[in-house]
Every structure is written in C-alpha cells, then in structure tokens.
Amino acid sequence: MSETVKPSELDRNVVAALQLNGRAPWKQVARAIEANESTVARRGQQLVDSRLVGVTGVLDHLRCGLGISLMVRLRCRPGTASSVARALADLSVTRFVTVVTGSIDVVAEFVVADHRDITRVLAEELPGRDDVVETESMVVVRKFSAFEEWDTGLLGPRASALLRPEGIPSGHREWQETEQLTEQEFAIAATLAADGRATYAQIAAEVGVSESTAARRVESLVRRGCLRFRTLFEAPLIGLDVEFMQWFTVEPSELENVGVRLAAEPSTRYVSATTGRFNLCLHGVLAGYGDLYHYMTAVIGALPGVRTADMTLQARTLKRAWIHINPDGTRDPDTRNPHLTRPDPREHTT
C-alpha cells in the first residue's frame, strides 16, 4: 500500500461511501458520513489522485453480447506463480488475476466469445505456459452478487439509504436477448471506464454530445442493465486484511438457496454459480485471521447441501475489472478494457 496516504477513520468512511455509490458527489458523501463537506472533498480527492481509490464504469458483457466469463484455477511449478500471474494479467482477455495460497496457485477470470477459446488462450497466448502444470475452467452461469453491490458494513443503514436511495440494480438477470450498444454508447462507456466519476459535462466534451444527451445515455445504460460502477480499492485500506476465494460443491437442489444466502453475508463481495467440479465461486473478505474459524464453522457449516468447501487466500491481486493493480495497491491508469469499442458480431456472441 502507498506510503504517501495513511488511511484514517475519515478515509475509511469515504471509501465505504464510494463503495455504496461511486458517483456520489462529495456533498452527498459528506452528508452520509456526517463530516465536513470541504474536508471530505479534499481527502476524497486525495485518495482518488493517489490512485489508491478509483471508480470505473463496467459493461455487463453478457447483457451487451461481449462474451462469457470463465473462472480458471491454475496450479504452477514451484516458484513460478507470480510470473504466471503477471503473464495472465498482461492478456487482454483477463479481467481479474490473483495469486492465492491453498490447493491452487493462481486464479484468473477470462471474458471470451466462447468457452472453446479458453483452450487457445492457455495453449497459445500465455507466455511461460510451461510453468502451468494444471488448469481447471468453470463458466459463470449465474451471478448472485457482484462487487459493486457489496456493502462494507462500515456505515449504517442511514448512509446506505442516502447513497442508494433508489437502490443499485441487484443480481445479474438471465438475459434472453442482448442489448446492441451504439458507437456513441461504447464511447461513453470508455470515458466512464477511465473515470467512473466523470461529470456529464466531461462525458459530453469527450464524446462530442450535449450534456443532457450524455446524462440520458448514461441513465439508459444503467437502467437497461448494461453499465455498472465499480469502486476499486484494496480491502486493507478499510481494515479488512483477509481476502479469500472459496470454491463450493453444492447439491444442485440447494444451489439457488446457498447462492442467495451467501450473497446476503456481509463478508461476501461476489458469488456466482459455475459449471464444473465446483459449482459455486465466492470472493470474500474478513477483518483478520481470527475470523476465519467462525466463518468456516458458523457461516459455511450452516449451509445446506454443501459437499465440499475449498478456501484459497489471496496473496496479491494483479488485475481487477480490467485494470492492473500495482504492488502498493494503486491502480495503473494506462490499462484499458478491450471491450470498449464496437465489437465485430462475428467474433463476439453469447
């Protein structure tokens, strides 16, 4: 984590507020956390300028016909996990990459046009692929909760009501038909991917439309389930020091029930149903190692139909929401989402 910005209680509250609504004006954030507006604006902007915190607009790739998501678990030759993770992070098709401890060494999320593409990527495009001794791929078929829906729990219900007065669309519905985005909508999404807090005036200037048109287009993309806003930060910044991924094998008859129950857990940042040996994948976070036993026994132990639960602790995450994460926890501003230009329909299908 950066040595130049030391998180205070105010910092943690500002980050928690941005997690609830990444586009909230500083005035709204100040009201939600009951702090001085000028102080909140100054400190919040410092956190953003330091790149420890950022907001990015993300397109729902399934809704927009940009491909499907696969979670890939990789086991590597001893001593090569970090280099494999770096190589994976450099691939344009990876949205998330992390080094973990446990039964595997690296986890990556790929967004590809078709599940068959993952074989080509791993066999032909990955540098240093000889260091990978085993892979296991799972297609994400249902999201119960996504990162942008998570509530850190640092702020009370009043703050949540102020920052999410109408609620952020929850759950990722099973779309029957994809939305066809226009070139203008892709351009707006690209602007918001670079800066999810960009004002409508800034979007209008970047894309070449009126401010009112920019506002209508953004609101339409959100309403149609195409665009979401993700606040990026490393969990230790707000005092949550243990990040983990958990892989479940659940009885099919209990899969929906378990997914919904896990999505409601305060520690859950993301949970989805997948194909393969593990049919549920979860990203979670806890305050410290002392919370792990209670989590494994009281939370996981109470779930019906769970046959196996494999926990892997995240040692270092190199990429989130298409954006490279530096070793100090700051975002690399030069990374780009490859899906922010109009795709060739012959290459991207659902």
Confidence of residue 166 (pLDDT cuts 50, 70, 90): low
Rounded average pLDDT over 51-71: 93
* Rounded-to-integer distance, Cα 262 and Cα 272, Å: 10
HSE toward the beta carbon, residue 125, CA cutoff 13 A: 14
Kindly report the pTM of this predicted structure. Answer: 0.90
Rounded average pLDDT over 135-154: 94
Burial 182-194 (b: 16+ CB within 10 A, else e): eeebbbbbbbbbb
Confidence of residue 2 (pLDDT cuts 50, 70, 90): very low
**Choice between 118 and 347, residue whose per-residue pLDDT is larger:** 118
Q: Which CATH number fits domain 180-223: 1.10.10.10, 3.40.50.720, 1.10.1060.10, 2.140.10.10?
A: 1.10.10.10
**Choice between 216 and 336, residue whose per-residue pLDDT is larger:** 216
What is the per-residue pLDDT across 74-98, written as a single tens digit (0 to 9) for each? 999 999 999 999 999 999 999 999 9
What is the per-residue pLDDT across 229-249, written as a single tens digit (0 to 9) for each? 999 999 999 999 999 999 999
Find residue 243's DSSP bridge partners: 285
Write down the pLDDT at residue 295.
Answer: 97
Q: CB 252: neighbour CB atoms within 10 A?
A: 9
Write down the pLDDT at residue 173.
Answer: 56
What is the per-residue pLDDT across 256-281, written as a single tens digit (0 to 9) for each? 999 999 999 999 999 999 999 999 99
CB 126 within 8 A of CB 158: no
Q: 3-state SS of 134-185?
A: EEEEEEEEEEEECHHHCCCCCCCHHHHHHHCCCCCCCCECCCCCCCCCCHHH
Question: Which helix (H) or strand (E) element contains residue 260?
Answer: helix 255-263
Residue 5 has pLDDT above 60, yes or no: no
Q: Which two tokens stand for residue 38?
A: 């000028």
Confidence of residue 123 (pLDDT cuts 50, 70, 90): confident
Residues for the chain: how many in total? 350
Q: CB 36: neighbour CB atoms within 10 A?
A: 11
Domain residues of the chain, as ranges?
180-223
